[in-house]
Amino acid sequence: MANIKLNSNTTLSQIAARQAGILTNPVLGAVGSNHSPFANTISITGPNNYSNDLTLDWFAQSNNVKKYEVFETTEDVLALSVTWHRLRPLVNQGLTAIKPTRLTDEILFNEMTQEDRDRANDIRDYYSKKLMMLTLKEQPFTNYRKDLSTFIHGNSKLVKEEMMPLIYRLPEFYDYDIETDVMFRDLNTRFEGAQIAYQRTVELTPIKKFTINHKHGKRTAEYWLKDERSIPYKIDIDGKNELLHLWDTYFEKESVKLHGAIKYTERDGIGFNKLIKWTIEH
C-alpha cells in the first residue's frame, strides 16, 4: 500500500480518495491520477448535503417502482366531489361566482354541507354493496371497478392523485346507476338472447335517455326502449351528432319502428338487446 501523509485537516473522504489513487483538486473536484481532469469526475456528497444534489432522483420510475402523489384532506374527498357536483349546474348557468377548479379547492371545503357528507356516505354504501354482490357472483372486475373498490374501501381522506378523476365523476355515475336500477325493475332482463347479431325490424316504446360524460370531454347519448315483452333495447349515439335533435324529437313518440342489427348484451347480470347500425322505418 502506498504511504499516505495525513495532517489535522485530512478528511475521511480524502483518505479514501488517496487510497483509490484519486487526486483532489480544490477547483475541479476529485480526478483520476492517470486521467485528464475533465474525464471520469466523481462527486461525493456528505450525508448532511444530500438535499442540495439536484441531479439525484430518489424515486426513479421503472417497472418495479411507481411514484404517487397523495392528498391528505380534512374532509372526505368524495364529499368534496358531491359538493362540486351540486354546485356545477349553478356554475354552468352563471348563477354563482363560485368556480372550483380542482377537488382540493378551498371553495369546496367552505361550501360543503352536512347533506353533501351524507350523500357521500350513501354513494360509498351503495358501491360497497354492489361490489360485494358482484364478487359473490364471481363477476370479473374491470380496471375501473378495481380502482373503485380500492377507493371505496380505503381511507377517504388520504387519496392518490390518480384516483381524482374517478372520484370527480362518481356522483354522476351514482345518479346514473340509481336511475338504471329503477328502470330495470319493470323490464324483462332475464330473457334468452341471441349471442350472434341478426337483422330485424322492431317496434319499440321509448323509456329513458341518459347523457354519459367520458374522458377527454366525449359525450354519448344513451337511449333505452322496450318491446312488447318488456325486453330492453339500448341505442348509443355520439353526443356531437348534428342530427341528434331530430332523433330526440322522434324519441318523444309513443312508439318507434326501427330496423337494425340486434345483439344480446349483458351487464352485471342484466340482459338487454343492443341495436346497431339501425334506420328508422315508416
> What DSSP character marks residue 42?
B
pLDDT band per the 50, 70, 90 thresholds, residue 46: very low
Q: Rounded CA gap, 224 and 233, in Å?
A: 6
The answer on 160 and 101 residing in a single domain is yes
Instruction: Cell 341505442: give the residue.
Output: 235
pLDDT, tens only, 77-86: 999 999 999 9
Q: Is residue 168 part of a domain?
A: yes
Is 205 found in the same domain as 147? Answer: no
pLDDT tens digit sequence for 110-123 = 999 999 999 999 99
**Torsion angle (degrees, nearest 10) of CA 100, 102, 103, 107:** -30
User: Per-residue pLDDT for 43 more than 60?
Assistant: no
**Pairwise CA distance, residues 49 & 24, whole Å:** 19
- Whether 6 is in a domain gets the answer no
Higher pLDDT, 201 or 13: 201
Q: 160 with 215, same domain?
A: no
Q: Which grid cell is 162? A: 390518480
In the chain, the number of structural domains is: 3
Please give the share of the chain, as a percent, with pLDDT higher than 70: 76
Whether residue 15 contacts residue 9, with contact meaning beta carbons closer than 8 Å, is answered with no
Q: Is the pLDDT of residue 21 over 90?
A: no
Q: Are residues 171 and 105 in the same domain?
A: yes
Element (H, E) at 238: strand 232-238
Task: Note the pLDDT of residue 68.
Answer: 75
34: helix, strand or coil: coil
Residue 118 to residue 130: CA distance in whole angstroms: 18
Closest C-alpha among 219, 237, 218 to residue 276: 237
Q: Are residues 203 and 111 in the same domain?
A: no
Residue 219 belongs to domain spanning: 198-280
Query: Are 118 and 79 contacting, i.e. CB atoms less than 8 angstroms apart?
Result: no
Residue 217 has what pLDDT?
Answer: 58
198 against 34, higher pLDDT: 198
Tell me if 33 sits within 8 A of 23, measured CB to CB: yes
Tens digit of each residue's pLDDT (9 = 90 or more) over 164-217: 999 999 999 999 999 999 999 999 999 988 878 899 999 999 999 998 887 655
**180 in the same domain as 211:** no
- Helix ranges restricted to H, the chain: 12-19, 77-92, 106-111, 114-136, 143-152, 164-185, 244-251
Q: Report whether pLDDT(39) > 50.
A: no
Whether the per-residue pLDDT at 273 is higher than 50: the answer is yes
* Closest alpha carbon to 107 in 162, 116, 154: 116
Which one-letter amino acid corresponds to residue 236?
D
Confidence class of residue 282 from pLDDT cuts 50, 70 and 90?
Answer: confident
59 is a domain residue? no
Q: What is the CATH number of the domain that holds 262?
A: 2.40.50.590
Q: What is the pLDDT at residue 103?
A: 94
Q: Mean of the pLDDT values across residues 129-146?
A: 91
The pLDDT of residue 60 is above 70: no
Q: Is the pLDDT of residue 272 over 60?
A: yes
| Residue in the block written with cell 312488447 | 228
* Residue 102 sits in the same domain as residue 177: yes
Average pLDDT over residues 55-71: 68
